[in-house]
Structure 1
Amino acid sequence: MRINNMYLLRRRVLLNRMLHSSMTGGVLLLICAVIAVLAANVPAMRGLHDLWSVNLGVSFGDGVFSMPLRLWIDDVLMAVFFFSVGLEIKRELLVGELSTMKKAALPMFAALGGMIFPALIYTAFNAGTPSASGWGIPMATDIAFAIGVLSLLGTRCPVGLKVFLVALAVVDDIGAIIVLAVFYPSHDIHFIYLLYALITVLALVALNRAGVKSALLYLALGVVLFVFVFRSGVHATIAGVILAMTIPARSSVGDVRAFSGPDTLLCRMESALHPWVTFFIMPVFALANAGVVIDASALGQGVMPAVIPGVFFGLLVGKPLGILTFSWLAVKLRLADLPSGTKWKQVLSLGILGGIGFTMSIFIDNLAFSDPYLVNAGKIAILATSIIAACTGVAALYMTTNKNNSKQ
């Protein structure tokens, strides 16, 4: 009993720390997004906007590999971001809110509805148009932004509701990663490099099974895996998730409690990466990708492209409707229970926060379209909708919660 109480206390402390850092990171992310938009539209700041298009190269003997700085960020830095996400997913699957079917059922159903409904709504607006391939854009939720906004409520929000959002966002990330890998390859697929990548993964799994806990060795093979995945045509960021799944999650102790210990390689890596991801990688991504040109020509001289209402209604209507409907279905089928102290109107309010797409939505937007006009229109819709979802969601939660909820 004492061990269980200590474990629950540790989980609450870790959750509070994450919420605090996510709030700070969310504010920084918003500031960087505003700076990026200003840089794209204010002539005096245009140099910052153009910086991300500068080519940056690496020499290998007589060969030179070069690509724009924005792609270095989107491919390399975001691979580190996805590695961090993968570590979090693995931890939640082992000892967190996804460790048992009973725990995982509600966030799994909620996330599934929160992905299906937005994709269907987007497709309804864009079917048969050049922007039809962007159906994956409104499926994603920005976990850092959403949790950061939720943190503004402080103790007013029930702990169970906070945990539910974290678990839902983790499952949402899993879905987004699958969609990214299957439907949005960066180039034509080269199966020989996929074979090399598979061999590298098998080597990583062998290290794990052999009990090797050298972070340097795993990271070295991770770089090799990244190169092979990049050359295969599958988006290179997927290598980060795959690498995370091979990182040892046990300490030298052989029981289940060892998974949650701070001495495991998985926990050490996750703790080390978290501040870098929150305060460097995601803000830099926002600076490089959130800059949209807002003028008449960007919106087709008054003719609104279908991608804008598709993203807008997909995120702002599809997300909350899907999360609420599928959560209700899971409870009615007796597959799951609502978190303690949580009401259905709070689930709907939480679903509105799920409409904060931002980082992941922009990431998919960059991959979905080759036409800069559609990319720009998609970003305008993502930024506007994310701001509306954040303001509406936090207001709705404020009205449906009370100061005593922190005790529940």
Structure 2
Amino acid sequence: MARKITLDFLKTEAASGIVLGLAAAMALIAANSPLSAAYFGWLKSEHILQIGPLMLELTISEWIKEGLMAVFFLVVGLEIKYEILKGELSDPRKLATPVLAAVGGMAAPALVYLAVSGLLNGPHEGWPIPLATDIAFALAVFAVAARRLPSSLRVFLLTLAIVDDLGAIALIAVLFSSGVDWVPLAWVAGLLAVGALFAARRKVAAPFWVLGFGLVWYLTVLAGLSTSLTAVAFALIVPVSNRTEDGQSPLREAMHDLHPWVAYLILPLFAFAKAGVSFAGLSLEQAFAPLVLGITFGLFAGKQIGVFGAAWLASALRIGRRPTDATWLELYGVSLLCGVGFTMSLFVGILAFPGAIDSPEQVEVKLGVLGGSFLSAVAGAAVLAVATRRRKILAQAAMDTRTD
């Protein structure tokens, strides 16, 4: 059953990569066409949501970042909890190599970024941007380039990306949650504690989970805390074994119901809102600014060095082992795909350099993320295609030998 859940997740996330790519392309077209003013004006327009005495006024860009992306982080939290309790992460032996690779894949990009930034006198604040892997895009490229490679590589990539997301969420908590209002935050903590107590003792109907998440989200916005953190915290109290009327656990049911919305609506909408960068008036100096180069090299060079180096070291020290039936060349191709940062990197970029969506820093963040992700995707696809062809040749040679 755990394998079926993982494969369903892989199929959904991989397929959504095509929609993500189209959304990003549409954003670039809109930002560099006669629709540019309307596109950026729409993102900056403010809208009010009022339910009785509860009222919030945010821009479209903020609604997407703090509202819709909270649902994305809720799904990430549910996936992390499920994998730890029931899935691939429940076996420490399977967990060691991708976790160590994820740690290396976070440390090396940060060091590469800081090295480039220090060398070119760039801003040091951007070092968290190239740390995370975009699950949907990376799996979409893998699905196209490596259809005949072992499924263990897919599980390795998914596990690593989940740990990456968890690390990025922890960084958001530590680095980007200043100026918190502690009164609404205390209410958030109380609601989470009550929800955990009820979930442990009795069945909780789905409408109460929805209402509870909405209230926790609202109080988090009032507290000035990143909604991604409380979304993951809320996911951790959703029971994995308390059965609903149709026999499914609330966690499984939520994962099943929310995955398509996240994959085909929320992430593409976020990509459309954040990938739009206008090239009008863009100088060569800005295109190769220290911030751009730091992020690009952090994603492209740092990720492959950190992921592949840590995986090799784990195998050499016998702490972990290579994915089943996979070669080092195939694992290197997957390591390259880990440099596809996109949605999570753009999200962290917004937090690292707050300001207008078309500010110079935001333009440079987008250029760096798009450049590093594109290079990683192309190089990873090329290596995996070579590995696939090599495997096919070796299989044919083995077959010919048996025939002789």
TM-score (norm 1): 0.89
Please provide the CA RMSD for this pair.
2.4
SS of match in other structure, 2:73: helix
Question: Which one of the candidate residues 180, 183, 190 is aligned to 1:192?
Answer: 183
Q: How far is the alpha carbon of 1:216 from its aligned partner?
A: 1.6
Are 1:157 and 1:405, in contact at CA under 8 Å, matched by a contact in 2?
no
Aligned residue in 2 for 1:131? 123
Are 1:321 and 1:348, in contact at CA under 8 Å, matched by a contact in 2?
no
SS of match in other structure, 1:81: helix
Q: How far is the alpha carbon of 1:289 from its aligned partner?
A: 0.9
Mark the CA change 1:340 to 1:116 in structure 2 (over 3 Å): closer, same or farther. same
Mark the CA change 1:49 to 1:272 in structure 2 (over 3 Å): closer, same or farther. same
Q: How far is the alpha carbon of 1:370 from its aligned partner?
A: 3.0
Structure 1 unaligned spans of 5+? 1-6, 254-260
Whole-angstrom CA distance in 1 between matches of 2:199 and 2:361? 44
Whole-angstrom CA distance in 1 between matches of 2:305 and 2:116? 17
SS of match in other structure, 2:58: strand
Query: Structure 1 residue 232 and structure 2 residue 223: aligned?
Result: yes
Query: Aligned partner of 1:171: which letter?
Result: V
Identity between Structure 1 and Structure 2 (%): 32
Mark the CA change 1:63 to 1:209 in structure 2 (over 3 Å): closer, same or farther. closer
Moved more, 155-164 or 281-290: 155-164
Structure 2 unaligned spans of 5+? 396-404
Query: Structure 1 residue 269 and structure 2 residue 254: aligned?
Result: yes
Mark the CA change 1:213 to 1:61 in structure 2 (over 3 Å): closer, same or farther. closer
Q: How far is the alpha carbon of 1:302 from its aligned partner?
A: 5.2
Aligned residue in 1 for 2:156? 164
Q: How far is the alpha carbon of 1:305 from its aligned partner?
A: 2.2
Query: Structure 1 residue 334 and structure 2 residue 318: aligned?
Result: yes
Whole-angstrom CA distance in 1 between matches of 2:314 and 2:279? 42
Aligned residue in 1 for 2:401? none
Aligned residue in 1 for 2:86? 95
Query: Structure 1 residue 34 and structure 2 residue 18: aligned?
Result: no
Are 2:122 and 2:290, in contact at CA under 8 Å, matched by a contact in 1?
no
Aligned residue in 2 for 1:358? 342
Whole-angstrom CA distance in 2 between matches of 1:82 and 1:300? 36
Q: How far is the alpha carbon of 1:368 from its aligned partner?
A: 0.6
Mark the CA change 1:216 to 1:403 in structure 2 (over 3 Å): closer, same or farther. farther
Query: Aligned partner of 1:124: which letter?
Result: A
Query: Aligned partner of 2:327: which letter?
Result: K
SS of match in other structure, 1:384: helix
Query: Structure 1 residue 392 and structure 2 residue 379: aligned?
Result: yes
Whole-angstrom CA distance in 1 between matches of 2:325 and 2:145? 16
The 5 Å alignment of 1:244-259 reads 244-252=235-243
Are 1:36 and 1:49, in contact at CA under 8 Å, matched by a contact in 2?
no
Moved more, 47-56 or 108-117: 47-56
Q: How far is the alpha carbon of 1:359 from its aligned partner?
A: 0.3
Are 2:146 and 2:384, in contact at CA under 8 Å, matched by a contact in 1?
no
Are 1:213 and 1:248, in contact at CA under 8 Å, matched by a contact in 2?
no
Whole-angstrom CA distance in 1 between matches of 2:383 and 2:207? 46
Question: Which one of the candidate residues 287, 292, 317 is aligned to 1:308?
Answer: 292
